[in-house]
Amino acid sequence: MRVRRWGATLTLLLTATALPATTVGTATAATAGPAQHPHRPSPLATLFDNTAVSGHSGPGAADFDGAGHSLSAQDLTAAGWTPGSVLRIDGARLRWPETAPGTPDNVVADGQAVAVPGRGDAMTFLVAATGGTASGYGTVRYRDGARGSYELTAPDWRSGPLSTKAVALPHINGAGGQLTETARLYAVTVPLRAGREVAAVVLPKASGTAGALHVFAVAVRDTGRGRTGSWAASTGGYRAVGPWTDRTLRLVVHSGAGGPRARIRIANTFAAAPVEIGTASVAVRGTGAAADGRPVPLTFGRGRTGTRIPAGAEAFSDPAPFTVPAGTDLLVSIHLPGTVTAAPVHQEATQLSYLSAAGSGDRTGDVGGGAYPETMAIWPFLTGVDVDGGPGSIVALGDSITDGAKSTRGANRRWPDVLARRFQAQSALPRYGVLNHGISANRVVADRYQGDGVSTDTGGVSAQHRLERDVLAQPSARTVVVFEGINDVRWGASAEEVIAGLRAIARRAHERGLRVVVATVGPCAGYPDCTPAVDARRQAVNAFVRGNAGAFDATLDFDAVLRDPQQPQRMLPAYDSGDHLHPGDTGLNALGESVNLWALVPGRG
């Protein structure tokens, strides 16, 4: 079996593969009865054979791990994971089991056939393992008779990584009382064959030498065929705010691709509690916080004006009759009726947004900006604006240079902005949307933010750990451009570790059918920690990128664009923002203009 970092990757295999032996974990979970192996696929809920959730008054009513431990029903409720609640995670629509505490609520995977209808790019499982990491191979059955195998690995519910969890809970119930120990649940995704409709999935067979793999929900994910991403930002951390009580955020974002009908994405990533969205709207920006015309109200499922987003989940608005012009500032207004003390944020917005006065209520419909006296330079909650139609999206996965650190605030001079304008200004190629998923201080190999809890660190989890959320789950993603590594080599990672991370990102993106383009790492001599040893590691990474085009579909030599020919370990002075690490506006423009647009088009050799 191939080794997976953190064990949270699924791989689609196009030929049958035998279940490999594994020595991870020894304990297996107790079940409510013998495992069921129906000849015909059954709904997952009819196969539940294990009880994971108990109430505080009856902790002995559940035995998730075979040792009398279980999840707390009260903690799940506090996180917004109530029985039957819908959880949108990484684009998938999952439903938490509609069961009472102390009754079966999950299935221990052992070859059961589960009816899972739908057509999409991937299938997402809500899982956790007990007794150690659990892994195995299962089968996807398609309506046309085709079959494909997948590898599913679930991290342990008590020791798995917080950086990839869907939700973390603060307690574990036991027969002797409650333990103050973090429990974790995970959403893990497997690619599907393009164009085929799913009929069922056969879960992995149990292994007597590994942990037990528990499945709470499963769903086919459609990441928005027929939609194009116009704007996006990554959640880099979960930080204290306000407190904000009964206030409205008016967030300024800049569209890339235009199109008819728009929807927004609001994320509660890394959160410990649900957030209430009272109302929301979208408008073309006028001046400051004022709209150029009446804002268009947004709804969330069957015309509801607001929504409640559970911890770790996200919400999509219904497509609204609002035409997004290409290359235009938009105002996305979000009313928070309750009290918010912490929020998932994109820290380096390089853009001023607005906040209404304390207790001012719902101001999402305001045309003028008078109700918004405060400004902020972050993007809380909002992670995307999509438009109907269009050819799909190109995703820029990067660090502070992609994020636009040191560029002029409010001028939209990040290199992905330049790329977006170039695509919109030409007609020889599809006019792709360009989504900026750069996070300042981000790394390929290691997490900067550890993925849980309120923190001042907003450098994000690693590029590998956020790949599913920030690239593979993006609307109609076609190509990913990876431009990361400088923070890794500056902060101690070896060139070999960075190279392995780039290979892993490319392999997973290829499994989902994306084109993968990787850029060389730019120079940084003159920055305080850019020592000769750091430069040697950087050069080794770049030598791999330039010499191993077979691992990627194309490469971009951003190092060659930025470096000073006379001192190649340093940035060209005309491109330097002044700190010798981050390009200024001129350097970022040079990066965006240097890209051969044809290199980003799927299907190219």
Per-residue pLDDT tens for 378-430? 999 999 999 999 999 999 999 999 999 999 999 999 999 999 999 999 999 99
Does residue 542 belong to any structural domain of this protein? yes
Tens-place pLDDT, residues 257-273: 999 999 999 999 999 99
Considering the domain architecture, whether residues 402 and 274 belong to the same structural domain is answered as no
Strand partners, 276: 308
Residue 138: closest CA among 198, 203, 215: 203
Q: CA angle 370-231-189, nearest 5°? A: 130
Cα gap 86→93, rounded to integer Å: 7
Cβ atoms of 478 and 471 closer than 8 Å: no
- Do both 34 and 67 map to the same domain? yes
Q: What is the pLDDT of residue 223?
A: 75
Q: Which residue has the tokens 């190999």?
A: 445
State whether 105 and 159 are in the same domain. yes
Strands (E), 303-452: 307-309, 314-316, 329-346, 353-355, 374-376, 379-380, 382-388, 393-398, 433-438
Query: Smallest Cα–Cα separation from 233: which of 61, 470, 493, 420?
Result: 470
**Residue 369 shares a structural domain with residue 516:** no
Work out the angle between the directed axes of helices 585-594 and 415-424 (0-180°, nearest 10): 50
386 lies in some domain: no
Residues 346 and 395 in one domain: no
Q: By the 8 A CB rule, do 71 and 130 touch?
A: no
Q: Are residues 11 and 133 in the same domain?
A: yes
Report which residue type is found at 417.
D
Number of domains comprising the chain: 3
pLDDT of residue 25: 29
> Which residue, 173, 195, 221, sits at the end of a domain?
221
Per-residue confidence (pLDDT) for residue 209, from 0 to 100: 65
With a cut of 50, list the residues of the chain below it in pLDDT: 1-38
355 and 500 both lie in a single domain: no
Q: What is the pLDDT of residue 603?
A: 85
| Predicted model pTM | 0.92
H or E element that contains 415 = helix 415-424
229 within some domain: no
Are residue 204 and residue 131 in the same domain, yes or no? Answer: yes
Classify residue 227: in a domain, yes or no: no
Decide if 228 is inside a domain: no
Residues in the chain: 605
373 occurs within a structural domain? yes
| pLDDT, tens digit (0-9, with 9 covering 90-100), for 500-512 | 999 999 999 999 9
End of a domain among 198, 221, 244?
221
Torsion angles phi and psi, residue 153, rounded to 5: -125, 125
Question: Which residue blocks in 440-595 are alpha helix, DSSP H?
Answer: 467, 486-490, 495-511, 532-547, 558-562, 585-594
533 in the Ramachandran plot: left (φ > 0), alpha (ψ -120 to 50) or beta? alpha
356's tokens: 């209404």
DSSP codes joined into one string, 183-229 = EEEEEEEEE--TTPEEEEEEPPPP-TTS-EEEEEEEEEE---TTEEE
Task: Tell me 162's DSSP state.
Answer: G
Q: What does the pLDDT read at residue 303?
A: 87
Q: Are residues 105 and 36 in the same domain?
A: yes
Domain contains 275? yes
Residue 505 and residue 543 in one domain: yes
Tell which of 221, 243, 265 closes a domain. Answer: 221
Residue 500: closest CA among 3, 163, 12, 11: 3
CB-neighbour burial class of residue 32 (10 A; exposed 0-12, middle 13-18, buried 19+): middle
Residues 485 and 604 reside in one and the same domain: yes
Given the DSSP bridges, would you call strands 122-130 and 212-221 parallel, antiparallel or unpaired? antiparallel
**Full domain range(s) for residue 563:** 391-605
CATH of the domain at 517: 3.40.50.1110
* Whether the Cβ atoms of residue 265 and residue 489 lie closer than 8 Å to each other: no
The pLDDT assigned to 39 comes to 63
Say yes or no: 47 and 142 in one domain. Answer: yes
Q: Helix 495-511 vs helix 532-547: angle between axes, to the nearest 10 degrees?
A: 30
Is the residue at 552 inside a domain? yes
